[in-house]
Structures are given as structure tokens and as C-alpha cells.
């Protein structure tokens, strides 16, 4: 399952840090951050609960870039 989330991030380097942090999160099969569109596309592992995984993704991203935001639907 893939879902797209709106993000707020200040620079391309910060977006890259967010992408790396998201990809290291349990339950994420693949995450791609597009700085130009300010979107994150997350593909979840089979059986993962997207809402729960995204809470952890947000925490992990905040650790590497504290002023970023992921708008969870």
C-alpha cells in the first residue's frame, strides 16, 4: 500500500534527511521525499498499519530535522 503525505521542510538537504529517516523506520518498505512538490510517498510493508507507522516516521524525521512537519491525514 502506498500513501502520499504533504510535508513542510526548508531545504533539499533536510528533505533528504527526512527520506533517509523514513526509510529506516520499521513498517516502511520505501519512502520518497520530493522537495519540489513538498510531498512524501510512503510504501508500507505488508501487514503494517499506516497510521501507526507514520507516527514513528514523524518522530524519526523530527530527530534529524526538528523543524520539519509531516501532515498526517
Q: What is the pLDDT of residue 5?
A: 97
What order do you get walking across the sheet with 2-8 strand by strand? 28-34, 39-44, 2-8, 69-71
- The secondary structure of residue 55, as a DSSP letter, is H
Instruction: Give the separation between CA 47 and CA 63, rounded to whole angstroms.
Output: 26
Please report which confidence band the pLDDT of residue 69 belongs to, taking 50, 70 and 90 as the band edges. very high
Q: What is the pLDDT of residue 62?
A: 95
CATH number of the domain at 2-71, please? 3.30.70.100
How do residues 3-57 score in pLDDT, each as one tens digit?
Answer: 999 999 999 999 999 999 999 999 999 999 999 999 999 999 999 999 999 999 9
For the chain, the domains span 2-71
Residue 73 has pLDDT above 80, yes or no: no
Residue 9's CB: how many other CB atoms inside 10 A?
A: 21
Q: Are 6 and 37 in contact (CB under 8 A)?
A: no
Amino acid at each position: 500500500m502506498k500513501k502520499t503525505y504533504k510535508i513542510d521542510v526548508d531545504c533539499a538537504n533536510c528533505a533528504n534527511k527526512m527520506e533517509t529517516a523514513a526509510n529506516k523506520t520499521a513498517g516502511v518498505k520505501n519512502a520518497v521525499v520530493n522537495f519540489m512538490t513538498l510531498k512524501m510517498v510512503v510504501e508500507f510493508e505488508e501487514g503494517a498499519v499506516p497510521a501507526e507507522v507514520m507516527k514513528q516516521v514523524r518522530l524519526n524525521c523530527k530527530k534529524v530535522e526538528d523543524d520539519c512537519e509531516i501532515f498526517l491525514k
